[in-house]
Chains A and B, each alone.
Chain A
Amino acid sequence: MNVADIINPANLVYKKNTVMNEVPMHYCPGCSHGVVHKIIGEIIEEMGVQEKTIAIAPVGCAVFAYKYLDVDWQQAAHGRAPALATAIKRLLPDRLVFTYQGDGDLAAIGTAETIHACNRGENIAIIFINNGIYGMTGGQMAPTTLAGMKTSTTPNGRDVPLAGNPLNITDLLAKLDGVCYVTRQAVHTVAGVKKAKRAIQHAFENSMQNKGTSIVEVVSTCNAGWKMTPADANDWMVENMFPVFPMGDLKNE
């Protein structure tokens, strides 16, 4: 029996989507980014929009997102992805335009670009990975770091009088008239992955149909930054992140 005998269509239970490139990922094992990339690849393939997709990569752990999905990419300066997406979508209104951003990119340095793109109702999708920490630069405090949470710049835990409150930017964005769809998801379980996939697909469809801005927040783990095993990180997220960033749709128009 060889590989071809085992892997035949009758036995196929899972197939890697064709939009993902054959390159090893730099993400840490257990990180949510890889799962979200996979979902996006599947959706682009299933929607048949590979030739119409222009994606914007951020600065942060996902800075190399352009290596993993076989579509046209622009890599943005830190926080500026929604500004790039604004111009791209306005000049190419029949394209799928989405940004892929972390919490530092979207909710700290890029807050103005995020809020104003949403407020103008740009017909883009924003995929927002919120893991409450700066993974790329070595685990510093993010705007979404929880009160009391330890990071390399809050070694004794986030002290709110000193460092401010965790910023629930998705709640803010849901209040803007230009925004048509806001949802909060997680990919720590199979059911969660399936729901997150449906959410991102809905956001992409909104972009193609020019319905306004869609935001899919994926509450995520950073087990390396949180200094936990992947399994513990999942549990910690459910226990500590979900009460502050509750799952579900905030807006769907």
Chain B
Amino acid sequence: MKKENKENEVRLMKGNEAIAHAAIRCGCDGYFGYPITPQSEILETLMEVEPWHTTGMVVLQAESETASINMVYGAAGCGKKAMTSSSSPGVSLMQEGISYMAGAELPCVVVNVMRGGPGLGTIQPSQADYFQTVKGGGHGDYKVITLAPASVQEMADFVGKAFDLAFKYRTPTFILADGVIGQMMEKVVLPPFKPRWTEEEIIAVAPWATLGKPAHRKPNVINSLRLEAWEMEELNLVLQGRYREIEKNEVLFEEINCEDANYILVAFGISARICQKTSELARAEGLKVGLIRPITLYPFPTEQIKKRAEQVKGMLSVELSAGQMVEDVRLAVNGKIPVEFYGRMGGIVPTPDEVLQALKDKLISKN
């Protein structure tokens, strides 16, 4: 067993490793996962640290992603902080379980360290699961809160945050990362240790949890089945009400160099890091280019993008995909200014100068 040392120590680690350490530290009760590149270090790190000896956290390598997400379902149904992680093809396989958890109003954290698709695709980085994550993924009317980390520090910080949001709104919550953020090493300060919840604490936070039925209460039933149409609509209305609250309360974004910008890049995750450098390169040439980085992809920072559309001449959505988030940027801007897209696919990561050239070609040269 490796010892978990000092608080506030600055460490160097991969994004995937940071997720694992943060999970242990934020009082996660159970991790269930299946190996897939480029995120296997999460399960490997947990197995190396052996948190069951310290916090009692359960870590299990499941037989498939299907089993993993359903183990998460079982654990979450008991009010436990449960999580899984995978990469794109594995997350596709989990969608059934995620839809069931949305329907059963179960909190959990799912980490997707995206790789290129469709199909078995490539193990190289991608952001092409944006649609899958923020527009549904599984069947039925549901949404999942989606946090998009852009650094190893955020990989560490977002685990606890994702659990907080998941329990606040009783909903699956995603950390949508990409192969670069998962595989790169940066400095990180891990969050302080928080003890796991006791059963009394679980009952206080999650009175719906199936911990065994004491004589004084009715049975708790974790269930997404509503055979009567009116009952099913009622559940849907509850969920939709919750999504409106999430949209009102939980939007997170970062703005860099936007105050005097004439053009704005919109990007998340690794693309946002690349675009930050693009903005630096542009300003070195006297071009006033800013960056809006959505931190929550759902809920999306629609209002802020709309506001900035009043000020700038155009926006460029930069993604490791064929153009997915750009649709949400366009909806936010609603035709007020041109919104263009630049992206690479299949695991290719564009360089900062490449993005600057695209900005010039698609927007600046047309003004």
Contacts and interface: CB of A to CB of B under 8 A. Distances in A.
| A–B touching in complex (CB under 8 Å) | yes
Interface residues of A, number: 30
Given A66-B223, A75-B222, A80 B211 contact: no
Interface centre among B64, B67, B73 (most CB of A within 10 A): B67
B223 A54 contact: no
A50 B80 CA distance: 21
B70 A80 contact: yes
A88 B29 CA distance: 11
A204 B100 CA distance: 28
Contacts of A203: none
A116 B224 contact: no
Interface in B181-240: 210-215, 219-225
Interface centre among A52, A88, A90, A91 (most CB of B within 10 A): A91
Interface in B88-146: 96-97, 100, 104
Interface string A66-102: 1000111111110010011111101110010000000
A75 B220 CA distance: 11
Contacts, number: 122
Interface string A36-51: 0000000000000011
Contact of A72 (B29, B30, B68, B219): B219
Interface residues of B, number: 38
Contacts of A52: 212
B210 to A, nearest CB: 4
A170 B60 CA distance: 25
B30 A113 contact: no
A91 B30 contact: yes
B32 interface: yes
Interface in B66-80: 66-68, 70-75, 77-78, 80
B211 A53 contact: no
B100 A112 contact: no
14 contacts: A50-B213, A51-B214, A56-B74, A76-B74, A77-B70, A77-B97, A80-B70, A84-B73, A86-B60, A87-B60, A88-B75, A91-B58, A92-B211, A116-B62
